Chain A
Amino acid sequence: MSLLEISGLESFYGASQALFGVNLRVAEGEVVALMGRNGMGKTTTIGSVIGLVRPRNGAIRLSGKDVAGMQPHRIARLGVGLVPEGRRCFPNLTVHENLVAAARPGVWTLARINELFPRLEERRDQYANTLSGGEQQMLAVSRALMTNPKLLILDEATEGLAPVIRQDIWAAIRRLKAEGQSILVVDKTLSELLPVADRCFVLEKGRTVFSGRPNELTADLQDRYLGV
């Protein structure tokens, strides 16, 4: 049974339809890349999974349970940890408070987070709005891990970050993968994304137009669906 299985998903963004039939599958322990140009429905797909966007049609199953239309906090508690686009750390909370406010017990503890991102420990009592973009992304990843999700979802994992910091984030993702964490990741850096992914899904105009292994995503296909 897949951890996450989306079939025939249709969602609306306000009055206009954004998704016209998204199919996607994440198996236990897999890293899955969700790709597509801007505005093709990646963030809406993620929003539908976590319940921030209410799906109109289709099914979203988490470990076999249909979660379409459930409230976000219930879906999150079933084991989804979101690292949203733009990071969205709570600016008026300290680093420590961001980490513990919504934490749920499990293998991820403060000690392990501090080991994954030692920088956060140095910034423990700083307010999140005083962090650099990279530190905020580390915080957003850690905040999601502290809820001990079965599936970690990263939307625009390294967007707008300095190259050095991107390496840190990718290193962390590789490490999480090695530990067996299931991950659904959106990012534009194919050179980093493809080597870490077990499977890729490409969206175009709200539909899944490609699914397969990273090596099946040929230069031709990349050019057709992802090139600018």
Chain B
Amino acid sequence: MSTALLIEQILNGLQFGVMLFLMAAGLTLIFGVMGLINLAHGSLYMIGAFACAAVAAATGSFWLGLVASLAAAAAAGALVELVVIRRLYDRDHLDQVLATFALILIFSEGTRWLFGSFPLYLDIPSALSGAVQLPGGGRYPLYRLTIIGVGIAVAVGLYLLISKTRLGMRIRAGESDREMIAALGVDIRTLYTVVFALGAALAGLAGALVGALQSVQVGMGEPVLILAFVVIVIGGIGSIKGALVGAILVGLVDTLGRFLLPKLFAAFMGPAQGATAGAAIASMLIYIVMALILAFRPKGLFAANA
């Protein structure tokens, strides 16, 4: 096993992690601030990917597609919040799950109706199509490095937004006492719409960025949604910092587990059996990690200070 390969796998894990972070950040904000379980978050990811692919195909520009993905996902998020979600805040979680599950079906069928069942493909923009020399002799795609960079930039931006701006203070205040912040003159309903649209835009961004790595198709959001829920449970619901740490942890553990465990088991079980056993454990690994973390920190790593 060469160092170059290990570094490459670590970078893959990071890239996967920051992509999960973009999903989980919105999900944890919506869950933490409004107490809403939004299963349709994966649909917003899909909408971002489709908007990017469609606009990029029509205009020839990935960058216009990226802007379209943000706009489409934020608009879809705001619309869904105004029409459906707003009625769910005071309902229990089961109602929320049912209603947002219905939204998944509506969005999936709607997308199939508009774009058909065949996957769309999105090309990596030419400016980011090369590879970068890694220490140890390997090469790594520039585009994946860029995703890592975007994820870090979003994390810093969100941190500043939440901790330094008045909007962020109001979001946190609403998290701890929604009635009180309203009684002080803050329009909590509009605030919720803004938070929801922001979370949706981040999911859309993740969808667009990943769309250039894999095919853009109906149902692409749900597997990611499940992982994003794992991330926010590990990180502590409502915590952006927790979402970042949880996402990187899940990304690295999953990627490195799939890479290293088969080799490890092969060392003492023989290559064939070892590879099978290693792969089986690797696919369970993030859930094992989640269970362990919850056993010791039932509220997650960075439970919100409330």
Contacts and interface: CB of A to CB of B under 8 A. Distances in A.
Interface of A: 50-52, 71-73, 76-77, 81-82, 84, 88, 90-93, 97-98, 100-102, 104, 127, 129, 143-144, 147
A101 B181 CA distance: 9
B173 A50 contact: no
Given A88-B177, A91-B305, A52 B184 contact: no
B183 A82 contact: yes
Residue among B172, B184, B186, B305 having the largest count of chain A Cβ atoms under 10 Å: B184
B182 A101 contact: no
A98 B183 CA distance: 14
B187 A52 contact: no
Contact of B183 (A84, A91, A100): A84
Contacts of A104: 185
A102 B177 contact: no
Interface in B117-175: 166, 169-170, 172-173, 175
A81 B183 CA distance: 8
A52 B176 contact: no
B180 A84 contact: yes
Contact of B186 (A91, A98, A102, A144): A102
A104 B184 CA distance: 10
14 contacts: A52-B179, A52-B183, A71-B182, A73-B185, A73-B187, A88-B177, A90-B177, A91-B176, A91-B306, A93-B176, A100-B169, A101-B173, A102-B170, A102-B185
A19 to B, nearest CB: 18
Given A90-B176, A92-B176, A97 B184 contact: no
B6 interface: no
B132 to A, nearest CB: 41
Contacts of A101: 166, 169-170, 173, 181, 184, 186
Contacts of A98: 173
A62 to B, nearest CB: 13
Q: Which 7 A-B pairs have the closest CB atoms?
A: A76-B185, A102-B184, A101-B169, A72-B182, A90-B173, A92-B305, A77-B185
Contact of B179 (A72, A129, A143): A72
B277 interface: no
A92 B172 contact: yes
Contacts of B305: 91-92, 127, 129
A88 B177 CA distance: 8
B7 interface: no
A71 B304 CA distance: 28
Contacts of B176: 90-93
Q: Residue among A73, A77, A84, A91 with the most chain B CB within 10 A?
A: A73
A88 B180 contact: yes
Given A93-B172, A101-B166, 17 more contacts: A52-B179, A76-B183, A76-B185, A82-B184, A88-B177, A90-B176, A90-B177, A90-B180, A90-B181, A92-B172, A92-B306, A93-B169, A93-B173, A100-B166, A101-B173, A104-B185, A143-B184
B82 interface: no
Contacts of B183: 50-52, 72-73, 76, 82, 84
